[in-house]
Chains A and B, each alone.
Chain A
Amino acid sequence: DAEITQSPRHKITETGRQVTLACHQTWNHNNMFWYRQDLGHGLRLIHYSYGVQDTNKGEVSDGYSVSRSNTEDLPLTLESAASSQTSVYFCASSEAGTDTQYFGPGTRLTVL
């Protein structure tokens, strides 16, 4: 069955380290999205991509970057992790021409 996966599911890192969170989908969806979810803020969009080599900034993109070298993957990189980036991160994908986004299981990141 087609699916969307994220790894790792849990990570603890230190302030200042570079961290990469992986997102992989097998639906062949063109659209992929990264969100963070924090109490009181709901889901906030970090970066998104509408296809290979396309990346765009969301509302909370500072300190994060993404790259899209193939259809299946959209890794999220924290260039220099900060305690304010402690959060649960969700990846999602949707088919071009539709808007229903399907979410991965999430990654819980703790920055100490």
Chain B
Amino acid sequence: GQNIDQPTEMTATEGAIVQINCTYQTSGFNGLFWYQQHAGEAPTFLSYNVLDGLEEKGRFSSFLSRSKGYSYLLLKELQMKDSASYLCAVRDPTGGGNKLTFGTGTQLKVEL
């Protein structure tokens, strides 16, 4: 089975740093994705981790620990436009293929 947990909501201040956590329990694992979704829009790809460690991409970084079933997305120098839902998704190769299972998302609100 698949179980992916993320906090439902978070609030942070413009210019600050925020960490959004994701824990997963899946029958198989072959990579974890983070997507950003603004209200009324499509999800857009942010990052992909398949090996343990930190992947940095500008203001956004993503970390993975496979042994702990844990990932986080780190957003630095927060801007108002970062207010969005952040979706964690796990690729489970069980049964073959490239299917993703998504968490329910973390709604981030950035305030002045």
Chain A residues in contact with chain B, CB under 8 A?
31, 33, 35, 40-45, 48, 50, 56, 58, 90, 94, 98-106
Contact = CB atoms under 8 A, between A and B. Distances in A.
Interface residues of B, number: 21
Contacts, number: 52
Contact of B102 (A43, A94, A99, A100): A43
Nearest to A108: B40
30 contacts: A33-B99, A35-B102, A41-B104, A42-B102, A42-B105, A43-B43, A43-B89, A43-B102, A45-B101, A48-B99, A50-B97, A56-B97, A58-B99, A94-B98, A98-B98, A99-B31, A99-B91, A99-B98, A99-B100, A100-B33, A100-B45, A101-B45, A101-B100, A102-B45, A103-B42, A103-B43, A103-B44, A105-B42, A106-B41, A106-B42
Nearest to B4: A42
Contacts of A90: 42-43
Given A40-B104, A100-B33, A45 B44 contact: no
Contacts of A100: 33, 45, 48
A35 B33 CA distance: 16
A103 B102 CA distance: 14
A58 B43 CA distance: 19
A59 B79 CA distance: 36
B99 A45 contact: yes
Say what secondary structure dominates the interface of chain A. Answer: strand
Contacts of A98: 98
A55 to B, nearest CB: 12
A54 B91 CA distance: 20
B54 to A, nearest CB: 19
Given A45-B99, A94-B98, A99 B104 contact: no
Nearest to B45: A100
B87 interface: yes
A42 B98 contact: no
A55 B89 CA distance: 22
A105 B41 contact: yes
